[in-house]
Chains A and B, each alone.
Chain A
Amino acid sequence: MTTLRYLASFALAIIVGCTVGETFDDDEEDDSGMDLESALLVRSRDHLVVCLQIDPALAANTNQYVTQLRTDLATLQARHPDWHVGGLGQNTFEIVVGCPGDGVLPQLIDDKGTGGAVIGPGLRSAPTQFRTHVHVLGDVAANVLADRPFGRAIAELAAVDDHRVAEVSTALVIRASALGTDAFRNDALAQGLGLRVLH
């Protein structure tokens, strides 16, 4: 009788197991470090940090570009409804001059990363602190944009599967003259932070 009760309990446990199995396992272990509940994208980032890479031809004006980017970010933070729900933080964002990577720009920007095109470190086992890399270009270097005022590319990738990678840092490539414009702030910068275009 004891054996029968034991087996009956075992059978009941398996029935419960069946039910759980049908509702799927929502807690698959993950070692990519990604956090899709935040626009920062990875768990190791606790606030927004943006790096700023200035074209050497414009180096004398670095402070001016830092100030302008800070103003653009602050304006977006104040106006964009997605900023806080996206997890970009209440008060703090940081700008660091100089971005990781070899600094080499392609002949033409590839927005989608076809064939592995990146502007930045590319695939890393540990993503950098930089959610967004902003590259400010003078007129000559801006040929990589063709006739566009700004473009985007993949800066960093994380491996999320055997053969699948995902962008965890975005590169924004802009003409110096586009900094401070509504078009850059509401479109490129917003999307470069994982937010919707601000209309």
Chain B
Amino acid sequence: MRHLFILVSVLAISAAAQASHTHNGWLQLHISTIHDNNGTATTPGSLDEDYCVSSHTSAVSTTALGNFIENVLTKRTGQMWDGAAGWNVDLWRTAKKCEDYPAAERAAIGTEYHVADAWPNVPLCGNTTYSCTVLSKPTIDPTGKHQHYEWAVVHFQARHVSALDERARSFINHETGHVLGLRDPASIGGDCEESVMHNGLYGCTAFNYVTYPTARDLASVARISRRQN
């Protein structure tokens, strides 16, 4: 009997740990390129994830932030978004900052990372409070199954990322999780799990150490990539 109680307790803990809020079904708005990959190891294709970086603050330069974002997204083997979903997520930084491209070329860049001291006109950024993401240009998936978005613009607060530290890494990976289709928890301190979407930034202090996409996050993005929402 005592052994059965132990078994039940262990299983209960296991069940709680497996419950996933990161993956949440059809409402996983994502960038349109994550279903496929047509680049090479050295050259991005049209279905890879190009991104540009622009700083609008003296707190951090475009080059410094761009180098840091590139490092976080593509140089941290085992703890990065690059290569997710069997390389359907294949991230490539552009050579120039976002504004330096003419409209037609800029339109081909899927994701833009901008940083400023305030974002007074971006909804849900709360001016100087939150980093936030805008998805635009909805378009039909070639299979006809759903609409997804050709563009994502991430608006970072300078105070969140300018130190180029572990906290900045957490913000970069969290917002990139939004670009790839992952959601926030329902409340601060709610739905805590080992996920960069549910970590210390959202009051889940037990997961302060999670500043990178975990196996759970990568599995969710793989499902979105495979259209298994």
Contact residues in B for A51 (Cβ distance below 8 Å):
none
Contact residues in A for B112 (Cβ distance below 8 Å):
112, 114
- Assembled-state Cα–Cα distance A28/B8 (Å): 27
7 cross-chain pairs, A with B, having the tightest CB-CB distances, nearest first: A116-B121, A28-B24, A21-B18, A85-B144, A26-B25, A123-B123, A163-B132
Whether B163 is near chain A, meaning CB under 8 Å from some CB there, is no
A28-B25, A41-B138, A114-B112 known, 8 other contacts, Cβ within 8 Å: A4-B1, A4-B4, A22-B18, A112-B134, A146-B103, A165-B133, A166-B149, A167-B134
Whether A111 is near chain B, meaning CB under 8 Å from some CB there, is yes
- Assembled-state Cα–Cα distance A114/B137 (Å): 13
The count of residues in chain B whose C-beta lies closer than 8 Å to any C-beta of chain A is 60
Question: B25 and A10: CB pair below 8 A?
Answer: no
Mark B residues whose CB is within 8 Å of A. 1, 4-5, 7-8, 11-12, 14-15, 18-21, 23-27, 29, 98, 103, 106-107, 112, 114, 116, 119-125, 130-140, 142, 144-149, 151, 153, 155, 178, 183-184, 220, 223, 229
State how many angstroms separate the Cβ of B216 from the closest Cβ of chain A: 10
Mark A residues whose CB is within 8 Å of B. 3-4, 7-8, 10-11, 14-15, 17-18, 21-22, 24-28, 30, 32, 34, 36-39, 41, 82, 85-86, 111-117, 122-123, 146, 148, 151-152, 154, 157, 159-168, 170, 191, 194-196
Could you name 27 residue pairs across A and B whose Cβ atoms are closer than 8 Å? Answer: A4-B4, A11-B11, A14-B14, A18-B18, A22-B18, A36-B26, A36-B27, A38-B147, A39-B140, A112-B106, A112-B137, A113-B136, A114-B114, A115-B121, A116-B119, A116-B120, A116-B123, A117-B121, A159-B124, A160-B27, A160-B29, A161-B184, A163-B125, A164-B132, A165-B124, A166-B134, A195-B140
